[in-house]
Amino acid sequence: MQFSIITINYNNKIGLENTISSVKSQSFTNFEHVIIDGNSTDGSKDVIESHIASFGYYISEPDTGVYNAMNKGIRASKGTYLLFLNSGDTLISRSVLEEVSEKINNNLDIYYGNLVYKSNQEDKTHTFPKELTFSFFYKKSLPHPATFIKKSLFDTVFYYNENFKIISDWEFFICAICKFNATYEYLNMVISNFQTDGLSNSIENLEQINNERTISVKANFPLFISDYNELSEAKNTLASKRFKMLHSLEHSKIARKLNTIWLRFICKLVKTKS
């Protein structure tokens, strides 16, 4: 079996229904769909029961968090490559798994593509680089709903750290690529739609994200911790300087007047050239 699509869910009945429908509509058939439900009480179990014939595996029982559920999904899966498509997330098209299957040759550890971030304001397509570096992971991570991970890689690296609440998938990726030299390939295509209402996308969780990342870097990359802290301080200093500059421009009459004169000059210059 080539793919295992793993969906974790807790009290997200509508999102679960959307995800299941997206997976069931695929033209490609060499995959299983694994559902890990955290003993939902909102009717999610009824959704699971109504689609039960289409699952390779499902379970509904209490868990200790997102990563405990994801680890259950890994252990239950039979596919060579795993894709985490959590409740609410959907595949971009009916043919996307078929298209991906034609690009994967089973030789590499990770294949990743792009995804659409869906929100109430607007949808944005996020693309990712062909080359992955430590500095990339300092700022970002790979998108789990658009990344196919060879199941055996979890045995080589580690399973998701259940002590963390938010950053365990980030920790897995940075260690797999930068510490264990996992092989990878960028698929220049959109894989899925990602709902931006998760823990890692809430501004209220930024402090916890930074704290968890610092703990992880200290544990896995102790020689990098000074550089990591310097980058963090530099980033915060730069943001502070930019804020002070904007603040001074906003509250200084002279600065506003000079800025107005400069803009008028630019407009006249553009008109003259046209």
Q: Across residues 23-48, what is the average pLDDT?
A: 97
Mean pLDDT of the chain: 87
Q: Which of 79, 84, 91 is nearest to 189 (CA)?
A: 91
Please list the helix, strand and coil fractions of the chain in percent, rounded to the nearest 5, in that order.
Answer: 50, 20, 30
pLDDT at 204: 72
Give this prediction's pTM.
Answer: 0.81
Cβ–Cβ < 8 Å for 218, 225? yes
The confidence band for 119, taking pLDDT boundaries of 50, 70 and 90, is confident
pLDDT at 7: 98
- d(CA 71, CA 247) in angstroms, rounded, equals 47
* Residue in this structure with the two tokens 């200290």, named with its chain if needed: 218
pLDDT at 30: 96
Contacts of 128 (CB under 8 A, 6+ apart): 112, 113, 114, 142, 143, 186
- d(CA 144, CA 19) in angstroms, rounded, equals 15
pLDDT at 27 over 80: yes
Q: Which of 87, 81, 82 is nearest to 36 (CA)?
A: 87
The confidence band for 253, taking pLDDT boundaries of 50, 70 and 90, is low
pLDDT at 237: 55
pLDDT at 249: 46
Cβ–Cβ < 8 Å for 58, 37? yes
User: What's the pLDDT tens digit per position in 148-200?
Assistant: 999 999 999 999 999 999 999 999 999 999 999 999 999 999 999 998 765 55
pLDDT at 104 over 50: yes
pLDDT at 243 over 50: no
CA of residue 189 relative to chain centroid, distance? 15
User: What's the pLDDT tens digit per position in 49-78?
Assistant: 999 988 889 999 999 999 999 999 999 999
Q: Across residues 254-265, what is the average pLDDT?
A: 54
pLDDT at 246: 46
Q: Across residues 235-249, what is the average pLDDT?
A: 50
Residues in a beta bridge with 192: 91, 115
In the numeric block, which tokens belong to residue 116? 């659409």
